[in-house]
Structure 1
Amino acid sequence: MSWIQIKIGCCRADSETIEATLLATGALSITLQDAADQPILEPAVGETPLWDACLVTGLYTTQIDREYVDAYVKTQHDGIELSWEKLAEKQWTDIWKQDFFPLRCGERLWICPSWRSPPDASKVNLILDPGMAFGTGSHPTTFMCLQWLDGQSLSQKTVIDYGCGSGILGIAALLLGASYVIAVDNDPQALAATRSNAERNSIPESNLQCYLPHELPKNSSAQVVLANILAAPLIALAPQLTAMTTNSGALCLSGILNEQIDTVCAAYSSDFSFYTPKMSADWAQLHGHKRLT
């Protein structure tokens, strides 16, 4: 389908009524943009600030009667200036894919979208497309966990991925040699995404089991426990994640801001010895091993 758009410059006070006018003429969507390169600083709670000078854009199909729209807009808004432009034909459902490329996560592991060929077929290539569940590998918290997994000896080990999202960490662990993964998330959509991504990567169902937190079998444990969530739930889950980690087992925690490192470490320090935190931008990853009890 072909598309055209109308552009109207206006002041902030008129933007809402112009938006309503365009919608009344059949506009399918409205976009408001800054017309004068004016920065907007952090707004107060409940505020939706706009620029002093706005550019209002309305999107239509090419079947729209432009003369009718022009006439209607001008009767509603005296002295208004408007212009039309045709949008170039594009496959809009696929254009977003241009921003995703294979991502190297260490010496062995690559994360590859399905529409791009893996750069090195001899490496461990995890096929993953962006979706509703969090985790494509590009965010620093996930990327640091993937790098950590790439450097671990996972052969024949059981891994718990707590807060699995897309399943990227658990699936990476299996592809890197782990024998069994327990994936846990409080979002059923995340568990569905994990199962789908595991199937896409030819992971047998018997090697990866998904659970909502309240469904997780009692006494579940693993030699490697991963949790890429946020500081507050990591602290709240400390007793549970500690119990799940076997003696001398490895723990990897992420989703932590740099200033939260000490607080999260303190929740686990009675049972774990941590190594130097890894940091990327504002984010940190903690990893350590459980001391013998």
Structure 2
Amino acid sequence: MAWLQLHLATTEQHADAFQAALENLGAVAVTLTDGADQPVFEPPPGTRPLWQNTVVSALFEKDQTPELILAALTAQGLTAEASHHETLEDQTWERAWMDDFSPMQFGERLWIIPSWSEAPDPQAVNLKLDPGLAFGTGTHETTSLCLQWLDGADLHGKTVLDFGCGSGVLAIAALLLGAGETTGTDIDPQALIASEDNARNNGVADSLALYLPEQMPAD
């Protein structure tokens, strides 16, 4: 089955109205993306800031036509600044992004394993982690180098501070590799939520203290 994907350029002020109208017209999915390379840095949990120039993309079954959809939007007083459409062939969408994230080894002992994969070496130190909102999955060079260093270090009984912890991957890896007292801190509250969830999934939540910088204990 093929799908029609329609892309509409609009503004931050009108994006929600376009989204609601497209959903009412039968869109099975609506996505909002940046239309002019305007970064929106990690927002506080529960907020959703948009870009001044926003592209609203809607996915319809192929029997819909872009001309009729645009006419229906115009009848509601919604006219896009620009538009284009494309045909998408069907695929297993819920698995498409998973193909780019597979088990990764760092050093001799440490692996990062996504939840949908089997551990290549069940006897290794296997850290369970899925990509999420917070930075740190092991794919970036800086994270990879830190993970390799941790794998080669003697961490037993050591105190570890993960400053700018993101997903918590380094702190969790340190704990799984034998570290003792471990603390993570980040300016992004979403990162602390992700770190706590990931620590819990790896059975080390009770050993990882997490703080915003201004909440760090003085000692």
- Contact 1:102–1:113 (8 Å) recurs in 2: yes
Q: Which has the higher relative contact order, 1 or 2, with Cα contacts under 8 A spaced 6 or more apart?
A: 2
Closer, same or farther: CA 118–164 of 1 in aligned 2, 3 Å: same
Partner of 2:173: 172
Closer, same or farther: CA 89–122 of 1 in aligned 2, 3 Å: same
Q: Give the whole-Å Cα distance in 2 for the aligned partners of 1:5 and 1:208.
A: 44
Q: Give the whole-Å Cα distance in 2 for the aligned partners of 1:218 and 1:179.
A: 19
**1:214 alignment partner AA:** E
Deviation (angstroms), 1:91: 3.5
Q: Secondary structure of 2:198's partner?
A: helix
Q: Give the whole-Å Cα distance in 2 for the aligned partners of 1:101 and 1:203.
A: 23
Q: Give the whole-Å Cα distance in 1 for the aligned partners of 2:188 and 2:199.
A: 17
Q: Give the whole-Å Cα distance in 2 for the aligned partners of 1:30 and 1:108.
A: 41
> Based on CA coordinates, which of the two structures has the bigger radius of gyration?
1
Partner of 1:218: 218
Closer, same or farther: CA 218–123 of 1 in aligned 2, 3 Å: same
Give the length in aligned residue pairs.
178
- Contact 1:2–1:61 (8 Å) recurs in 2: no
Q: Give the whole-Å Cα distance in 2 for the aligned partners of 1:187 and 1:70.
A: 40
Partner of 1:99: 100
Q: Give the whole-Å Cα distance in 2 for the aligned partners of 1:191 and 1:200.
A: 14
Partner of 2:124: 123
Partner of 1:146: 147
Say which structure is richer in strand: 1
Deviation (angstroms), 1:93: 3.3
- Contact 2:187–2:212 (8 Å) recurs in 1: yes
Q: Give the whole-Å Cα distance in 2 for the aligned partners of 1:209 and 1:103.
A: 26
Q: Percent identity?
A: 46
Deviation (angstroms), 1:92: 2.2
Unaligned runs of 5+ in 2: 11-17, 39-56, 72-83
**1:62 alignment partner AA:** E
Q: Give the whole-Å Cα distance in 2 for the aligned partners of 1:123 and 1:6.
A: 47
C-alpha RMSD of matched pairs (Å): 3.8
Unaligned runs of 5+ in 1: 8-14, 18-22, 32-42, 47-57, 73-81, 220-293
Deviation sequence 1:164-215 (CA, Å, 0-9, x none): 010000000000011221111111111111110000001141x111011111
